[in-house]
Structure 1
Amino acid sequence: MNLHSIWPLGLIGVLVVSVSHVSGHGDPAARIFTDPAHDALVIDLAPMDLPANTPHHAIAQPPVATLEIPVTGYIYGFRAEVVDSAGRVLPDELIHHFNLIDPDHRELFLPISRRLLAAGHETGAIRLPWLLFGLPLKRGEHVVASAMVENLTPVAYRQARVRLVMDFTPAGRPWPLFAASPWQMDVAFPVGDKSFALPPGRSSRSYEGSPAVPGKIVGLGGHMHDHGQLIEFTDATTGQVIYRAAPAADSAGHIASVPVSRLYGWSGIGLHVVPSHRYRVTVYYDNPTGQPIPDGGMGVVGGLFVPDRAREWPAADPRDSLYQKDYRHYMRLEGGHGMPMAGQSMPMPMHMKMGAH
């Protein structure tokens, strides 16, 4: 079963019982609310106009939104989409990517804000076994939501919204059995823009690091741009290949999807990673144009991680210099975005509320 079979298009007529905004944090038109009829937690970014035949750099992108989690529970699936002013789902190709970030906790491989979800138009619906896994969220914690859209179709859309629909299990139920957290490793780590100029011909790019806590990777997938040939994640200490995937292309040769690997079954759950080892992500490209492609490259793997028992996910340290630089970047306060924004981002908080699962 996928999210298309669960959700009515546009969530028209949803009974909203909990809506929460963080005053002054991003755009007030963004919203987060629960849909108890479908056990969902939903984020809508601010409405925007999408003129026809317009690339992303010429569209006023929805402003970054910082929102407060309205209820405690677990996420076990999600889908990013764009809906029109009547709530009808628009073509998948309108969304380039959606990011959901947790500023209260650190990343597994870096002392920057934890990336909760990342989706592109090729990602599709992601849904984990609700009995086994769930990403814990606590009421009062924060999330930062942002997206990039483009409209290369001949049809214009007014007052469209980027929407993230998350399958949600309220607290107090006997499931899920494992509290799992997302992780990612990007070839453009540690901070800054994650796209890079793609040179002509064959090329590759890598990054490596060690996890902050031991645990098991139970699922992972990848994201890359057109002309991507392969992406892999390896244990650089032992040479073991943990994940290797080649993208699937559509009829026009554009990347349509990247395979997802689920590392659990009847024989066991997950592949164990430890802080004493180094792990590496590598993406491979073959650019046949003969010219460099600005922002043409990207390579990231990410997935689900279950910390070893009695190990809590580490809190972020907002005093860390990498944390501060990363925060200013994803809030679009500085550096290299090169696109108009339909709103302003908030300044860096001096006393951010910290928490730990």
Structure 2
Amino acid sequence: MPTHHPAARPAVPNDWSALERATIIPGSKPGELTLELPAVDLPAGTLVDEPASVGEFPVDGSIYALHAELVDENGRQLPASLLHHMNVMDPNERELFLPIGRRILASGMETGEIRFPWLLFGSRIHAGQRILANAMVHNPTNVGYRGVRVRLVLNYIPEHRPWPFFSVLPWQLDVAFPLGDKSFDLPPGRSERSYEGSPAVAGKLIVIGGHMHAYGRTIEFWDATTGKLLWHGEPAPAPAGAASAVPVGKLYSLKGLGMRITPSHRYRVHVVYENPTGHAIPNGGMGVVGGLFMPDRKAIWPATDPSDSLYQKDLRHFMGPVGKPVVGMPLEMGHMHMGH
């Protein structure tokens, strides 16, 4: 199975001892792992921003499916709508479009289950591979919950199987790159945002999709070097003022595999909003494209540089309120500071 080859490098010289532990253990079924964050209390009408915790994968394999779950202190399943987002980072590998820690797994309010064709595609993990994980949970109800644990249930193919045939990596390009929260204030009327970058290595985009908030009209992915539109997305019909999913583009078929991108070109994500409310909406905008990327067979994935200022700033942002009491803040206040 083709795979990317990380460049030889020392581990990121960070002391992770101040972080709580995320557990990654075998799940209830063969070929399943459960990644679980430390428990937090979630009072009624509050939002909790969980700081990063650290863990290690216990196996070698290829992930092909994942979904999020929440349970309380008694192990009772809680509504998935309590999860705003969860992110998992490998601090030792860089992102495709930025020299920051690579996001390897994520789930959120609208995500549901993510599943690849297991015979074809998988995202590699390695025994001992260190990860950082954080989450945000919110509770708009009048019922409080104690000991809430956010989980990612991961399905994987063990190493040394002849499948999946292709090794892929998650990728993203966000209009709010390079740093900080990815939501932005949405002005009234029509507005546009974009961001450009070049990939670290050559390869093919296998899957592409987009995410916008309410009043998003279009999101596009361009080859900025040639001026060619590579992908156009529009949200599915939804009630006024409600966000809806952008259909995912599968760039593989019996006729071919993927859309090629190269470091010699610059690529642009471009999002358009039409806000009819007549007033600005705090944190009302977002625009990100992403999906699956298959590096060229002989690609050497560049090392992260822990001394890079962008890397360090992003890492501090990802870590969140480490070392501080994890307490809920009122939803109204939390939404003023909310990012993805």
Cα-Cα RMSD? 2.2
Aligned to 2:17: 24
Aligned 8 A contact 2:214 2:244 in 1: no
Q: CA deviation at 1:272?
A: 0.5
**Distance (Å, rounded) in 1 between the aligned partners of 2:204 and 2:221:** 14
Matched, 1:320 2:312: no
Matched, 1:267 2:255: yes
**Distance (Å, rounded) in 2 between the aligned partners of 1:86 and 1:243:** 46
Between 1:121-130 and 1:59-68, the stretch displaced more is 59-68
Matched, 1:35 2:35: no
Q: CA deviation at 1:250?
A: 5.0
Q: Residue 118 and residue 23 in structure 1: after superposition, are their counterparts in 2 closer, same or farther (change >3 A)?
A: closer
Aligned to 1:92: 80
**Distance (Å, rounded) in 2 between the aligned partners of 1:249 and 1:86:** 39
Q: CA deviation at 1:61?
A: 2.5
Q: Residue 38 and residue 260 in structure 1: after superposition, are their counterparts in 2 closer, same or farther (change >3 A)?
A: farther
**Distance (Å, rounded) in 2 between the aligned partners of 1:64 and 1:94:** 18
**Distance (Å, rounded) in 1 between the aligned partners of 2:76 and 2:234:** 33
**Distance (Å, rounded) in 2 between the aligned partners of 1:32 and 1:99:** 15
Q: CA deviation at 1:98?
A: 1.4
- One-letter amino acid of the structure 2 residue matched with residue 166 of structure 1: L
Q: Residue 134 and residue 81 in structure 1: after superposition, are their counterparts in 2 closer, same or farther (change >3 A)?
A: same
Q: CA deviation at 1:32?
A: 1.4
Q: CA deviation at 1:286?
A: 1.8
**Distance (Å, rounded) in 2 between the aligned partners of 1:228 and 1:88:** 36
Give the 3-state SS of the residue equivalent to 2:301 in structure 1.
Answer: coil
Matched, 1:73 2:61: yes
Q: Residue 153 and residue 253 in structure 1: after superposition, are their counterparts in 2 closer, same or farther (change >3 A)?
A: farther
Aligned to 2:97: 109
* Alignment partner of 2:41 out of 40, 49, 74: 49
**Distance (Å, rounded) in 2 between the aligned partners of 1:212 and 1:144:** 22
- One-letter amino acid of the structure 2 residue matched with residue 27 of structure 1: E
Matched, 1:180 2:172: no
**Distance (Å, rounded) in 2 between the aligned partners of 1:62 and 1:333:** 7
**Distance (Å, rounded) in 2 between the aligned partners of 1:100 and 1:161:** 15
* Alignment partner of 1:246 out of 203, 211, 234: 234
Between 1:71-80 and 1:103-112, the stretch displaced more is 71-80
* Alignment partner of 2:326 out of 342, 348, 355: 342
Aligned to 1:222: 210
Cα-to-partner distance string for 1:159-189 (whole Å, 9 max, x where unaligned): 2221111111111211111111111111111
* Alignment partner of 1:157 out of 136, 145, 167: 145
Between 1:325-334 and 1:250-259, the stretch displaced more is 250-259
Aligned 8 A contact 1:249 1:255 in 2: no
Q: Which one has a larger percent strand, Structure 1 or Structure 2?
A: 2
Matched, 1:310 2:303: no
Q: Any stretches of 5+ residues in structure 2 without a counterpart?
A: 1-14, 328-340
**Equivalent residues, number:** 312
Aligned 8 A contact 2:27 2:153 in 1: no
Matched, 1:136 2:124: yes
- One-letter amino acid of the structure 1 residue matched with residue 100 of structure 2: I
Between 1:151-160 and 1:39-48, the stretch displaced more is 151-160
TM-score by length of 2: 0.85
Q: Residue 341 and residue 202 in structure 1: after superposition, are their counterparts in 2 closer, same or farther (change >3 A)?
A: farther
Give the 3-state SS of the residue equivalent to 1:208 in structure 2.
Answer: strand
Cα-to-partner distance string for 1:85-115 (whole Å, 9 max, x where unaligned): 3434332321211111111111111111111
Aligned 8 A contact 1:46 1:63 in 2: no
Aligned 8 A contact 1:62 1:341 in 2: no
**Distance (Å, rounded) in 2 between the aligned partners of 1:199 and 1:341:** 35
Aligned 8 A contact 1:47 1:62 in 2: no
Q: CA deviation at 1:118?
A: 2.8
* Alignment partner of 1:291 out of 260, 273, 279: 279
**Distance (Å, rounded) in 2 between the aligned partners of 1:211 and 1:150:** 35
Q: CA deviation at 1:304?
A: 0.7
Q: Residue 138 and residue 102 in structure 1: after superposition, are their counterparts in 2 closer, same or farther (change >3 A)?
A: same
Q: CA deviation at 1:231?
A: 1.5
Aligned 8 A contact 2:50 2:320 in 1: no
Aligned to 2:157: 169
Higher RCO (CA < 8 A, seq sep 6+): 2
Aligned to 1:16: none
Percent identity between matched residues is 55
Aligned 8 A contact 1:25 1:65 in 2: no
**Distance (Å, rounded) in 1 between the aligned partners of 2:99 and 2:16:** 27
Q: Residue 320 and residue 239 in structure 1: after superposition, are their counterparts in 2 closer, same or farther (change >3 A)?
A: same
Aligned 8 A contact 1:76 1:127 in 2: yes
Give the 3-state SS of the residue equivalent to 1:322 in structure 2.
Answer: helix
Aligned 8 A contact 1:178 1:306 in 2: yes
Aligned to 2:333: none
Q: Residue 32 and residue 154 in structure 1: after superposition, are their counterparts in 2 closer, same or farther (change >3 A)?
A: same
Aligned to 2:135: 147
* Alignment partner of 2:198 out of 210, 214, 223: 210
